[in-house]
Amino acid sequence: MKKQNVEHATAERILDAAQEIFIAKGFEGSSINDIANKAKINKSLIYHHFSNKGDLWKAVKKHLLLKHVGDLSFEVNFSMDSFKSFLESFVTMRFKFYDNNPDIVRLITWQRLENTEEDISGIQDKKFSSVVPQIIEFQQKGEVRADLDPKMINYLIMRTASMAFMEKPDFFEEQEVEENKKKFLELVIESLYLAFSTTNAPKENYKPRIY
């Protein structure tokens, strides 16, 4: 086997072992020794491929994304025919991504819980985290309320599409789980549309009472 192939195979072995350890123990609870033992290699080999544990964590996240969505330069396609069709296509895509990739959800959940000064966020591609330009476009078309901050709308769209997988509700564990997921997704899309669409905008000068 050529040296290059051996190097690639070793890196893959390390990533697979690290994925299993990180998912089980999180970043702070894992050690390079744990990963080396799992991969059945000397830990010096890990440092040959990855400079530190933080870099390995980021590499595992990227490795998982490559496995499930392919090349990270891919274009995220969703409907721009109307704000409603945009929500239906984008929120459904994001919801299904988390539903189909529990390992990524576990890593993200660990990352949110970690008490570390090290930057382990990894990939910050706007294709994964922002639809602000699309929201602004719909505001300019008059389909989304112009009085709302597009960054706040973006935050709520992103969080409502993924929150049920970060903290699973009881109805995702019940017998009719697939039907409940479908109903929940429909409710999320409808709620976002009602909240932000100009079709359902509140009366002028209306402000909700905050207690």
The answer to whether residue 198 scores a pLDDT higher than 70 is yes
Find tokens 């009602």 and name the residue: 194
Residue 151's pLDDT is: 97
Out of 82-86, 148-152, 176-180, pick the least confident: 176-180
Alpha helices in the chain (DSSP H): 3-25, 32-39, 43-49, 53-69, 83-100, 102-113, 126-129, 132-141, 150-166, 177-196
Q: Are 196 and 153 in contact (CB under 8 A)?
A: yes
Domains (range + CATH), the chain: 3-69 (1.10.357.10), 83-200 (1.10.357)
What residue type is 137 in one-letter code? E
Residue 72's pLDDT is: 46
Residue 73's pLDDT is: 46
Residue 210's pLDDT is: 73
Q: Are 154 and 131 in contact (CB under 8 A)?
A: yes
Query: How high does pLDDT run on average in the chain?
Result: 85
